[in-house]
Amino acid sequence: EAQVTQNPRYLITVTGKKLTVTCSQNMNHEYMSWYRQDPGLGLRQIYYSMNVEVTDKGDVPEGYKVSRKEKRNFPLILESPSPNQTSLYFCASSPGQGAGEQFFGPGTRLTVL
Amino acid sequence: GQQLNQSPQSMFIQEGEDVSMNCTSSSIFNTWLWYKQDPGEGPVLLIALYKAGELTSNGRLTAQFGITRKDSFLNISASIPSDVGIYFCAGFMYSGGGADGLTFGKGTHLIIQP
């Protein structure tokens, strides 16, 4: 089944403790992206990647890192999480070179205490 | 960045009624997308529009890409309980410059009263 998977689905952590949220897609898509969703603010793009080893900042990149060493994986790294990064995170992928029609993962709900 | 205004923010309707929501942009797009998000899940693509003036249907859903390329609407006919959720519009402008992304509206929360 064609899908985008994220892990973990739920995570509670403490301020400053490094964490990684994994994202994987099995559709051979070139474009991958991370979003955060907050009440009243909608979906905001954190980082995106147009291909392996090509990443770029989205609208809200501060406090996040990403890597794209393989086409299928696009992990989101929070080196030193803070409470304002408590949010619902979505990974997405798209078959084209640009954002285009994006397919979303199921989401990761992160709480930073 | 670009701004998308989506309205209404929420809708309370009776089962069987038709629904209409729209998005307007401060700048043009060459693709409009409509997504639906159910509680606890990621957004799911409903309809994609690629051409100004294009009218596309998917079952009871119909969406149009505005002639000015700055707006789009989504209609749902004869609503049913499973239509409940949050509907997002998204615009995309592919320029080939490598800095392209989707801009999302803030969503329309559809609530159906029995």
pLDDT at A97 over 70: no
Helix (H, G, I), strand (E, B) or coil at A84: helix
Written as six digits, the tokens of A108 are 């990761």
pLDDT at B8 over 80: yes
Report, as an integer, the average pLDDT of A94-108. Answer: 82
- Tell me which residue in A43, A56, A97 faces B88 most closely, judged by beta carbons: A43
What is the percentage of chain A residues whose pLDDT exceeds 90?
Answer: 81
User: What is the distance, to the nearest Å, from the Cα of residue A76 to the centroid of all Cα atoms in its chain?
Assistant: 5
Contact assignment for B100 to A56 by CB distance below 8 Å: no
Does A2 contact B at CB distance below 8 Å?
A: no
Contact in structure between B23 and B49 (CB atoms under 8 Å): no
Residue recorded with tokens 């803070």: A82
Contact in structure between A64 and A111 (CB atoms under 8 Å): no
Task: Measure Cα distances from B50 to A33, A79, A90, B70 in Å.
Answer: 21, 39, 24, 13
Rounded Cα distance between A33 and A47, Å, is 6
Written as six digits, the tokens of A42 are 């909608």
- What sign does the CA torsion over B82, B88, B94, B99 have? negative
Report, as an integer, the average pLDDT of A39-53. Answer: 90
Q: Which residues, at least 6 apart from B95, have a Cβ–Cβ distance to it below 8 Å?
A: none
Q: How confident is the model at residue A1 (pLDDT cuts 50, 70, 90)?
A: confident
Report, as an integer, the average pLDDT of A59-78. Answer: 96
Chain A partners of B2 at a C-beta cutoff of 8 Å? none
Chain A residue with minimum CA distance to B49: A101
Chain A partners of B44 at a C-beta cutoff of 8 Å? 104
Mean pLDDT of chain A: 93
DSSP type of residue A73: B
Contact assignment for A100 to B31 by CB distance below 8 Å: yes
Does A105 contact B at CB distance below 8 Å?
A: yes
Chain B residue with minimum CA distance to A47: B101
Lowest mean pLDDT, pick from A34-38, A93-97, B88-92: A93-97
Q: What is the pLDDT of residue B96?
A: 58
- Residue B62, judged by CB atoms within 10 A of its CB (0-12, 13-18, 19+), counts as middle
Q: What is the pLDDT of residue B40?
A: 84
Q: Which residues pair with B4 in a beta bridge?
A: B25
* Per-residue model confidence as pLDDT tens digits over B38-64: 988 899 999 999 999 999 999 999 999
Q: What is the pLDDT of residue B69?
A: 92
Does A61 contact B at CB distance below 8 Å?
A: no
